[in-house]
């Protein structure tokens, strides 16, 4: 079809693939993959058979296939399919599970379809960031949180609760983020700083601070951007002085936290000077 979109992006940070099908009518015969598939329907209704079970899947439904799960599907509403998924190789899954559970076991996901799953919004955000080739910090947070939720609720593995940790490591991370906000920072950097696994760092920091490490970093950058804009420094310059990758990212995060674009915020102080 002329309006079909079929794209695949390999994310080098996470070592996972992100597939997107838009406007397709293709029927997929019975087949299986050697990797995990975590996907969701954006538009269209499909008849799915997986491991001998039959499903009618709709927008907002999450699909969860283990390696070697035999499945087939076809369109049943006369319309086209919009679908996104990530493909996770067993060796990548094993490393991620080690982060989350402390053990190098492969999970077995019991349900092939999760109807109207709340996980879909996180998966979509992750998929878009991969497709847009965004940097690794936020993607890795989303990926680990996604796997944590699925492992905890849908797999045969157990995540043990972590003991309360001293605040020294958290303070160290906060100080590091505050002193290095202009640089590219990764979860690996913070993990090395504390000696904790990336997952343990994420969970402990978020529990202690009420905000994830990446959100904490974004807040520092926005607060610094406010100070520079108040001095009349143009948004394009502020972008690179505060560690944002480009002006659109500055605008996105600034507006989300402040409620104004950087230009609108800067004009407040320009008008105050004129009034004075």
Are both 114 and 168 inside the same structural domain? no
What is this structure's pTM? 0.78
Out of 112, 128, 154, a domain closes at 154
Are both 257 and 131 inside the same structural domain? no
Are both 115 and 66 inside the same structural domain? yes
Q: Which domain holds residue 257?
A: 161-276
Are both 136 and 84 inside the same structural domain? yes
Are both 36 and 144 inside the same structural domain? yes
Q: What is the pLDDT of residues 101-151, one digit of tens each?
A: 888 889 999 999 999 999 999 999 999 999 988 877 889 999 999 999 999
Sheet order of strands, 71-75 included: 28-31, 71-75, 46-50, 53-57
Q: How confident is the model at residue 165 (pLDDT cuts 50, 70, 90)?
A: low
Out of 103, 137, 154, a domain closes at 154
Q: Is residue 160 predicted with pLDDT exceeding 90? A: no
Which CATH number fits the domain that encloses residue 175? 1.10.10.60
- Predicted local confidence at residue 55, as pLDDT: 97
Task: Tokens 């087949």: give the residue.
Answer: 31
Q: What is the pLDDT of residues 201-214, one digit of tens each?
A: 998 898 888 889 99
Q: How confident is the model at residue 276 (pLDDT cuts 50, 70, 90)?
A: very low
Are both 150 and 173 inside the same structural domain? no
Are both 51 and 173 inside the same structural domain? no
Mean pLDDT of the chain: 89
CB 124 within 8 A of CB 84: yes
Count Cα neighbours of 214 within 13 Å in the Cβ-side half-sphere: 18
DSSP at 109: B
Are both 189 and 96 inside the same structural domain? no
CB 119 within 8 A of CB 64: no
Q: What is the pLDDT of residues 241-258, one digit of tens each?
A: 999 988 998 998 898 888
Q: Is residue 274 predicted with pLDDT exceeding 70? A: no
Q: How confident is the model at residue 167 (pLDDT cuts 50, 70, 90)?
A: confident
Q: What is the pLDDT of residues 48-96, one digit of tens each?
A: 999 889 999 999 999 999 999 999 999 999 899 999 999 999 999 999 9
- Predicted local confidence at residue 271, as pLDDT: 58
Q: Is residue 163 predicted with pLDDT exceeding 90? A: no
Out of 98, 121, 154, a domain closes at 154
Q: In total, how many domains does the chain have? A: 2
CB 217 within 8 A of CB 181: yes
């Amino acid at each position: 079809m002329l309006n079909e979109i079929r794209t695949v992006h390999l994310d080098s940070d996470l070592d996972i693939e992100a597939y997107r099908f838009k406007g397709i009518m293709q029927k997929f015969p019975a087949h299986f993959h050697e990797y995990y598939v975590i996907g969701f329907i954006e538009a269209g209704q499909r008849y799915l058979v997986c491991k001998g079970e039959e499903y009618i899947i709709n927008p907002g439904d999450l699909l969860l296939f283990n390696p070697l799960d035999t499945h087939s599907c076809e369109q049943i509403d006369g319309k086209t399919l919009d679908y996104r998924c990530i493909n996770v190789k067993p060796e990548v899954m094993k490393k991620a599970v080690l982060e989350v559970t402390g053990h190098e076991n492969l999970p077995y996901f019991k349900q092939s379809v999760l109807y109207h799953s709340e996980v879909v919004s996180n998966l979509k955000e992750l998929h878009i960031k991969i497709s847009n080739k965004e940097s690794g910090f936020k993607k890795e947070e989303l990926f680990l949180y996604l796997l944590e939720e699925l492992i905890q609720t849908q797999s045969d593995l157990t995540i043990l609760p972590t003991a309360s940790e001293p605040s020294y490591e958290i303070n160290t991370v906060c100080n590091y983020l505050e002193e290095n906000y202009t640089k590219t920072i990764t979860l690996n950097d913070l993990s090395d700083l504390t000696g904790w696994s990336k997952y343990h760092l994420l969970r402990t920091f978020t529990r202690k601070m009420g905000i994830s490490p990446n959100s904490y970093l974004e807040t520092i950058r926005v607060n610094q951007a406010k100070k520079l804009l108040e001095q009349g420094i143009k948004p394009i310059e502020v972008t690179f002085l505060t560690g944002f990758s480009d002006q659109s990212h500055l605008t996105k995060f600034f507006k989300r936290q402040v409620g104004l674009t950087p230009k609108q915020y800067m004009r407040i102080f320009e008008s105050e000077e004129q009034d004075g």
